[in-house]
Structure 1
Amino acid sequence: MRAHRNALRIALVATLAWGGTALAAETAGPSFSCAKVETGSIEQMVCTDADLSALDRKLAEVYGEATGKAANEHPPMLKAEQRGWIKGRDDCWKADDRRACVEEQYRLRIAELQAKYRLVPSTGPVRFACDGTPGNELTATFFESDPPTMIAERGDEVSLMYSQAAASGARYQGRNESFWEHQGEARVTWGYGAPEMTCRKAP
């Protein structure tokens, strides 16, 4: 009888241990199911890489927070943008270093959502007058995302820029815009091939 109870106890412990391991494995995976991902796909890479899985879970968390902020967004852009982002992530199979490409895609997207939907602390808005012309203004808001980001507004145009390494000051780069501030003065390029402007903090 005692042997039977011991056998049951061992079986129960083994079952609990297996269940805990399965739960831990599930928790450690990405936010999506790995059951039917294609072999050799970017999704499979995310499923089998603990750090990429963690970034995927972080993105899912941030996306959920952004969804709450975007409830009254017209037109609704968030879902469409996310679908486009997934396509861009999956295009990393073309990159020389696929893993580095995927990791960068996740980090930039997380930072973008944190800035765009004001999910992290920020500084600003800070106004800059450019080229000595009062009407030529740029407004910058800086966000404590990872990597740090800024949203710059000039007229009716908006640019999201990411922090770049700089020997001095703070440098940010967007799609066709750049911003480098040092001691209250900023050098700004706004638009592809546009001349550089000198901007100073407005009083």
Structure 2
Amino acid sequence: MPRLSAVSLAAALFGLAPSPQAAPANTATPSFDCRKAEAEIEQMVCKDTTLARLDRETTRLYGLALDARSLPKAQKKQLIAGQRGWIRGRNDCAKADDARDCTVSTYLERIFALRHGYAGARRQDDKGISRGPFNIRCAGVDAVIAGTFVQTDPGYAYLRWLDQQLVLPQTPAASGARYAASLKDGDALFWDKGPDAQLVVPGKPETSCRVDLQQS
């Protein structure tokens, strides 16, 4: 599988998407009509710039996946049904202890699923705020980690392997892109510096990783 240089990987992750600080806040509207929003979560998305941007990106990727000529009709039906089910699941975040965190994670998981599962949604261009899927190979981890990265404010890394997943918000760093969170069982960290990265998962020592863009 081809590897990206440090410069081209950084561009793939971040350089092709517009800076969230550069866009006026009033341009960050969701994909649906807020005047018709009835569900509690939909109303929250309409009032939250980050959630609105995640909604627009999710809808964009869904459209790309659905419009792909290579997608068989049966899979299109499954995709449509899956999107409807996902919307119901997103709205169920109203029952969560932290509805916003649940909604963010639900959007990131859907972005990951669309980019990972549908070739049409893997387009790497300047029209969206997500990049991926990436294959991340780390010393001492007995599986390839699949990852997507989303540029909001803050940005997010979504990593999944075996039965584990990490949702990590971006934190300040002198170089590269650093994502970190304090979880109930310990601290987690993913620090990307071009094609090389460091990973820390709760209860495990820091390990070195290699990041490659998954090809369609």
Which one has a bigger Cα radius of gyration? 1
SS at match of 1:32: coil
| Cα deviation code 1:139-188 (max 9, x no counterpart) | 85734445344576xxxxxx89557865798689xxxxxxxxx689xxxx
Conserved in 1, the CA contact under 8 Å of 2:115 and 2:133?
no
Q: Calculate percent identity across the aligned residue pairs.
A: 35
Output aligned runs, 1:14-93, within 5 Å.
Answer: 27-38=27-38, 41-69=40-68, 71-75=71-75, 76-93=77-94
Residue 103 of structure 2: aligned partner: 102
SS at match of 1:93: helix
Instruction: Give 1:59 shift.
Output: 0.9
Instruction: Give 1:85 shift.
Output: 0.6
What TM-score comes out, normalization by structure 2 length? 0.49
Conserved in 2, the CA contact under 8 Å of 1:150 and 1:160?
yes
Farther-moved stretch of structure 1 (84-93 vs 141-150):
141-150
Q: Measure, in 2, the Cα distance between the counterparts of 1:50 and 1:68.
A: 27
Choose which of 98, 109, 123 in structure 1 pairs with 2:135. Answer: 123
Conserved in 1, the CA contact under 8 Å of 2:58 and 2:107?
yes
Q: Measure, in 2, the Cα distance between the counterparts of 1:88 and 1:121.
A: 23
Instruction: Give 1:84 shift.
Output: 0.6
Residue 113 of structure 1: aligned partner: 114
For 2:58, give the aligned amino acid: L
Q: Measure, in 2, the Cα distance between the counterparts of 1:81 and 1:61.
A: 15
Conserved in 1, the CA contact under 8 Å of 2:28 and 2:52?
yes
Q: Measure, in 1, the Cα distance between the counterparts of 2:166 and 2:67.
A: 24
| Cα deviation code 1:62-105 (max 9, x no counterpart) | 11222234732534311111111110111111112111111111
Report the aligned-residue RMSD: 4.1
Q: Measure, in 1, the Cα distance between the counterparts of 2:110 and 2:67.
A: 17
Conserved in 2, the CA contact under 8 Å of 1:115 and 1:149?
no
SS at match of 1:30: coil
| Cα deviation code 1:107-162 (max 9, x no counterpart) | 111112111124135338x9xxxxxxxxxxx985734445344576xxxxxx8955
CA shift in 2, pair 1:167/1:96, >3 Å: closer
Farther-moved stretch of structure 1 (163-172 vs 107-116):
163-172
CA shift in 2, pair 1:167/1:54, >3 Å: closer
For 2:54, give the aligned amino acid: L
Residue 17 of structure 1: aligned partner: none
Higher relative contact order (CA 8 A, sep 6+): 2
For 1:93, give the aligned amino acid: A
Conserved in 1, the CA contact under 8 Å of 2:31 and 2:55?
yes
Residue 189 of structure 1: aligned partner: none
CA shift in 2, pair 1:145/1:73, >3 Å: farther
**Unaligned ranges ≥5, structure 1:** 1-23, 127-137, 153-158, 173-181, 185-203
What TM-score comes out, normalization by structure 1 length? 0.51
**Unaligned ranges ≥5, structure 2:** 1-23, 123-131, 151-156, 169-186, 191-197, 202-206, 210-216
Q: Measure, in 1, the Cα distance between the counterparts of 2:80 and 2:64.
A: 13
Q: Measure, in 2, the Cα distance between the counterparts of 1:163 and 1:63.
A: 21
Q: Measure, in 2, the Cα distance between the counterparts of 1:117 and 1:34.
A: 28
